[in-house]
Amino acid sequence: MGEHSRQTDKPLEGLVSYAKAGAAVVATILSAIAAALTGDSVIDTTEWLNVAVLAVGALGVFAAPNVPGARYTKAVLAVLSAVLVLAVNLIADGIDLSEWIQLGLAGLGALGVFAVPNTKRELILD
Give the pLDDT score at 69: 77
Distance CA 89, CA 13 (A): 38
- Which whole number is the average pLDDT over 83-104? 92
Give the HSE-up count for residue 84: Cα atoms under 13 Å, Cβ half-sphere.
17
- Which whole number is the average pLDDT over 67-87? 90
Is the model's pLDDT at 3 over the cut of 80? no
SS (H, E, C) 41-65: CCCCHHHHHHHHHHHHHHHHHHHCC
- Which whole number is the average pLDDT over 37-59? 92
- Which whole number is the average pLDDT over 6-21? 66
Give the pLDDT score at 57: 95
